[in-house]
Amino acid sequence: MTASGAADTRRSAMTSLKFNVAHQVPGRVRMKVPAAKGNAELLEQIGEAFAAIPGIERISVNPATGSVVLHYDIEQHDEFHGRLQHHVHESSGYRPPTTEIDEFARRIEEEAEFLARNSKSARVLVDFFKQFDGEIKRATNNNVDLKIVLALGIIGFTVFEVGAAAATPVWVTLAIFALNHCIELHAQHDRGPVSAPVIVKS
C-alpha cells in the first residue's frame, strides 16, 4: 500500500470515530474517544491529525481513559474552533465556546427567527439578509461579510452626515472593528502549517 493510500485509510477511519467533548475552557478542549480507549497507537494518530490545526500548542492523549486534550493559544480562539469543527464530526455535539459578541448575535438571530415564524414580512426580511450575507461572502471569497459592510456603511454615514471632526470616536471605533475583523479572517494565511507535539500519557 502506498503512503497516500495509508493516509486515506487513516483519514476515513478517523471520520467514522465518535468524539465526545467532555470539557472545554478557553485554551483547552478535552474529548473522549470511546473506540480508542486502550489503543495508544490510534490515539497518537488522532493527536497527529489534530496537530495540524492552527493555534494548537500541544496535544495530550491518554490511552487509559481514551481521551485527547488539545491545548491551544487563546489569541487564536476563533480560528482554532473554526478548524476544529472541520475535524470533529457533527454528531459529537461539539460547539465552540461563545464570546459576548457571539451570544449577542445569537440572540438577535433567534429573535429574528421568532419574528419570521409569526410574520410573513419578517420572514421575507430575514431571508433577504441571510441571502445578502451569503452573496457578499461568495463575491469576496469569504473575506468580507455583512458585519463588515454594515460597519463600513455606518462609518461612511457618520463621517458624511456629522463630519469627521465631530464623529471621530464613532468612526475610529468602527474602523478598528472592521480592520480587526479583516485581520482575523486573513490571519490563517500568514502562518505556515506547524504541527503541535503529541504527548502520550502512560
**CATH number where 35 lies:** 3.30.70
86 and 103 in a single domain? The answer is: no
102 and 71 in a single domain? The answer is: no
pLDDT, mean of residues 145-152: 81
pLDDT confidence of 9, banded at 50, 70, 90? very low
Residue 127 is assigned to a structural domain of this protein: yes
Rg (CA), the chain: 22
| Per-residue pLDDT at 10 exceeds 60 | no
86 and 43 in a single domain? The answer is: yes
87 and 106 in a single domain? The answer is: no
Residue 82 is assigned to a structural domain of this protein: yes
pLDDT tens for residues 11-39?
Answer: 444 556 677 778 888 888 888 888 888 88
DSSP tag of 114: H
Q: What are phi and psi of 30, to 5 degrees?
A: -110, 125
33 and 85 in a single domain? The answer is: yes
Q: How far is CA 28 from CA 7, 68, 195, in A?
A: 27, 10, 17
| Per-residue pLDDT at 162 exceeds 50 | yes
Question: Which residues does 38 contact at the CB level (< 8 Å), separation at least 6?
Answer: 63, 64, 66
119 and 104 in a single domain? The answer is: yes
| Total of domains in the chain | 2
58 and 130 in a single domain? The answer is: no
**Cα(first)–Cα(last) distance of the chain, in Å?**
31
Which pLDDT value is given to residue 195? Answer: 67
34 and 87 in a single domain? The answer is: yes
Structural domain including 133 reads 98-139
Residue 16 is assigned to a structural domain of this protein: yes
Burial 32-70 (b: 16+ CB within 10 A, else e): bbeebeeeeebbbbbbbbbbebbbbeebbbbbebbbbbb
Q: What are phi and psi of 31, to 5 degrees?
A: -120, 145
44 and 83 in a single domain? The answer is: yes
15 and 87 in a single domain? The answer is: yes
| Per-residue pLDDT at 129 exceeds 50 | yes
pLDDT confidence of 161, banded at 50, 70, 90? confident
| Per-residue pLDDT at 128 exceeds 50 | yes
26 and 88 in a single domain? The answer is: yes
43 and 120 in a single domain? The answer is: no
Which pLDDT value is given to residue 126? Answer: 82
Residue 7 is assigned to a structural domain of this protein: yes
Q: What single letter denotes the amino acid at residue 44?
A: E
pLDDT tens for residues 43-101?
Answer: 888 888 888 777 888 888 898 888 889 888 888 777 777 777 666 654 455 555 566 76
Global model pTM greater than 0.75:
no
